[in-house]
Amino acid sequence: MMSKSDNEKIEQDCNFGAVLADARKARNKTVDDASDYLKIPAKVISAIENSDVAALPPPTFSQGYIRAYARYLNIEEQSVLEMYNQAVPHEPATELKSRSKLPTEASSQSPLVKTVTIALIIAVITAVIYGSYDYYQKKADVMESQLESRQQSFTGNSLNSPALQPGSQRLPIKQNAHLTDDDQLVVDDSTESGLESDADQSISETPVIAEEAAASTEKAVRPDDVIVILAENGAWLEVYDASEKRLFYNMLNRGKSKTLTGQPPFRIALGNAGSTRITINDVELDMRGFIRSNNTASFMVDVSDGKATLY
C-alpha cells in the first residue's frame, strides 16, 4: 500500500503545468502574450498550466502544444513531456498487423497460387508464340502465291507459254515463203529487207528522240536567281519564291546583308524599306513606288531576259 508521501511525490511529478506557469511568471509574460506568440488559444494554455488533462485535446495535440510552450519559455521540453506522459498515460502507436495466417484466407505465397500463376504465364506465352507462327505462316503462303502468279505471267510470253503448246492457237506471223517444184522452202528477200528497213528506221529515230529530250530538259532546268539584300539601318524581311518556299524570315541588323537563291517570281515583304537595298542578279530594284507611309513595302518581282519587273 502506497504511503501519503508517495502519493504527494507522484502528484508533484505529474504537475507539469506548474513548471510552465512558474517559468512564464519569472519572465513577466502573460497567458495572452504566449497565446499571441504561439497561436495557441489562451484557454488551452491555461489548461496546460493548471495540468487540467480533461480540458486538453488528445495527447498527440497536447504534446505538440507543451513542446512549443516549453521552447517559448526556454525550458527543456523533454522533462516537461515526461511529466505530462506520467499524468496522461497513453498507448504507443499501434504497429502494423502482420499478415494473417488463417487457413481460410488465400495467400499469394501458397503452392496452389504459385502453380496456377505459372500455368497462366505458360499459357499466355504459348498463345503468343502460336499466334505469331500462324501469322507469319499465312504471310509466307500469300507471298508464295503472289510469286507463283508472277512466274506464270512471265512464262506466258516465253517458250513454255500455253499459247505455244501443241493444239493451242498460233500467233499470226506473216512471211513470204513458198515451196519450189523440188520441195524446197524459199523465203523472199522482201521480208528480210522489210525487217531491216524497220530496224534501220527505229535506229535512225533514236538520236532525234534523245536530242529532243535533252533540249526539253535543258529548257526545264533553269539556274536559280540570286537575291542580295543590304539593310543599311536594319530591317525585317520575309521572302518567298515561286514554289511558296520561304527563303528568309528574320531581322537583318544594321549594315548586314543576306544572299538568297530561288526561282522567280519572288514575294517580298520588308520593314524599314527606305534604307534597304535589294538586287537580283546584280540588278538593283526600284522599290520607291511600293514603299508605304509606315516605311514598309510588299511586292512581287519577276525576272526575265535579265530584267526585273515589280508588281
What are the tens digits of pLDDT across the range 66-93? 999 999 999 999 999 999 998 886 554 4
Confidence (pLDDT) at 170: 54
- Which of 6, 7, 34 has its CA nearest to residue 20? 34
Q: Is 76 in contact with 82 (CB distance < 8 Å)?
A: no
pTM, to two decimals: 0.32
Cα 127 to the chain's mean position, in Å?
33
**How many of the other CB atoms lie within 10 Å of CB of 239?**
21
Confidence (pLDDT) at 140: 79
Q: Is 269 in contact with 236 (CB distance < 8 Å)?
A: no
Confidence (pLDDT) at 87: 85
What DSSP designation does 1 have?
A: -
Confidence (pLDDT) at 240: 96
- Which of 133, 112, 135 has its CA nearest to residue 120? 112
The strand order across the sheet containing 276-280 reads 256-262, 225-231, 276-280, 283-284
Which cell is 147 given?
510469286
Q: Is the dihedral of CA 101, 103, 105, 107 positive or negative?
A: positive
Confidence (pLDDT) at 208: 52
144-187 residue pLDDT tens: 777 777 655 544 444 444 544 555 555 454 556 566 776 665 65
- Which of 235, 309, 228 has its CA nearest to residue 276? 235
Q: Is 222 in contact with 263 (CB distance < 8 Å)?
A: yes
List the chain residues with pLDDT less than 50.
1-10, 92-106, 154-161, 163-164, 171, 173, 190-197, 199, 202-204, 218-219
Confidence (pLDDT) at 9: 46
